[in-house]
Chain A
Amino acid sequence: MFKIFLPNKIFNTNHKTINGLIILTLVIILIGIAYALFISPPDYIQGDSVRIMYVHVPASFLSLGFFGILGMISVLNLIFKIKILPYIGKSIAPIGFVFALVSILTGSLWGKPTWGVWWAWDARLTSMLVLLIFYLIYILIWKFVENFNTANTINCFVAIVGSFNIPVIKYSVDWWNTLHQTSSITLTSAPTIHYSMLAPLIIMILGFFLYSLVIFLMRYKTELIKLKLNKKNKKTN
C-alpha cells in the first residue's frame, strides 16, 4: 500500500501526469467558480454574500482533513518508523496551513456583513485559530530544527496533540453555544443546503482537493530530489 509513495514511483510520475492534473484542476475550479459566482442562486437571507461559502467551506474542510492526515502519518511513523512518511507530512503541511488561513480570512470577510463582527472568540473560531497555530509550529519545526530525526519526533507529537483539536473543531458548534452556525452537511441527516448551492460547493471542494494534490506532488518530488542529493553528497564526502 505504501509502495505508491516510494521514490521511484513518484519520479516516474512524469511531467505528463502532473500537467494533466493541473489542467483538470483548472477546469474543475473554473467550472466551480462560474457555478458559484454566477449560476447558483443568492441565499434567501444573506443574498450574494453567501458566495464566500464556496471558498470558505472547501478551505476549512480540507485544512481539517489534512491535519488529520498529518496525525495519522505521525502515528504510523512513531510505530512503524516508515522512513518516507516525514517527507509526506512536510509536503502536506503548507497546503493545510494556507487553507486554514484562507478559512479564517474568508470567514472574517463573511462574518462582518452577516454577523456584524470580523471575529468572535467562540469555540469554532478559536479552535480554528488553534489549528492554524499548530500548522505553523509544525512547519517551523521542520524549518528550524537542525537534526532531521529530532524534528521528526517532535513533529509527530505536535501532529498527534493537534489532532485532538480536530474533533473539537468539528463538534464545537454542537457541544457549545457558538456564534458560528451548526453543520449544514452531516453524515447522519439530510443536508440543509439546497441542491442548487450544494452542487457548486462539492465542485469547489473537488477543485481545491485536486489543487492540493498537484501542490503535494510537486513538493513531494522536490523533497525526494533533495533527499537523493543529500545521500549523494554524503557518499562522495
Chain B
Amino acid sequence: MLTRKVRSRIFLFFLSIVLLGLIIFFIFKSLEDNLVYFFSPTEINNKINISYHEKIRVGGLVKENSITKKETSINFIITDLKNEIFVTYSGPIPNLFSEGKGVIAEGKLKDKKFFVADKILAKHDENYMPPEVAKVLEKSE
C-alpha cells in the first residue's frame, strides 16, 4: 500500500537515517585526533600515550636559524616558544615555509624530541599587511 503519505514517510525515514549517519560520521571523523589537527611540541612532550607508529602532525613556529639544508633532506626545529622538537624532511617545500613562520609537519615520531616528516604544510597567521608596513615593523623591532 505505497500511498503518497507512506512513500513520503519512507523517504523521511531514510533521510533521517542518512542525516544521522552523516552527523555521526563527521563526529567520529573529527574525534579521531583530527579535531586537533596537530599537536604542539609541548603537547607531544606531555602526552602519555603517544604513538610512534601512527601518523601524527606536529605544528608550531619554525625556530629562527634552525633550518639546515642537506643534500636530499632539510632539518629544522619546530617550537611553540616553550618546547621544541627536531624535524627532518625530504620532499617539496611549500612557498610560505620560512623561519619564524608557522608550519605543520605530518609524519611519525622517532622519540619525543625527534620527528620524521613526510609532508610539510605552511601555516600562516591572521596578520595581513602590505610589504612596506611589514618592513617598518621589522625595523622597529
Interface of A with B (CB < 8 Å)? 41-46, 50, 53, 113-117, 120-123, 126, 129-130, 133, 137, 141, 144-147, 150, 154, 158, 176-179, 181-184, 192-194, 196-197
Contact = CB atoms under 8 A, between A and B. Distances in A.
B88 interface: no
Nearest to A124: B37
B22 to A, nearest CB: 6
A154 B13 CA distance: 11
A136 to B, nearest CB: 10
**Which 6 pairs, one residue from A and one from B, show the smallest C-beta to C-beta distance?**
A41-B130, A116-B94, A44-B134, A122-B37, A194-B129, A193-B128
* Majority SS at the chain B contact face: mixed
A177 B36 contact: yes
Contact of A177 (B12, B26, B39, B132): B39
Contact of A154 (B12, B39, B126, B128): B12
B35 A179 contact: no
Contacts of A177: 36-40, 59
A181 B122 contact: no
Contacts of A116: 92, 94-96, 120-122
A137 B125 CA distance: 34
A113 B40 contact: no
Given A43-B128, A121-B29, A193-B128, A115 B123 contact: yes
Contacts of A113: 95
Contact of A43 (B104, B120, B130): B130
Contacts of A126: 26, 29-30, 34
B130 A192 contact: no
A44 B133 contact: yes
Interface in B103-131: 104, 120-131
A179 B128 contact: no
A123 B130 CA distance: 29
Contacts of A194: 128-130, 133
A129 B22 CA distance: 11
27 contacts: A44-B133, A44-B134, A50-B128, A114-B95, A114-B124, A115-B123, A116-B121, A121-B37, A122-B37, A123-B30, A123-B35, A126-B29, A126-B34, A129-B26, A130-B22, A150-B8, A154-B15, A158-B19, A176-B37, A177-B36, A182-B126, A184-B126, A184-B127, A192-B126, A192-B127, A193-B126, A194-B133
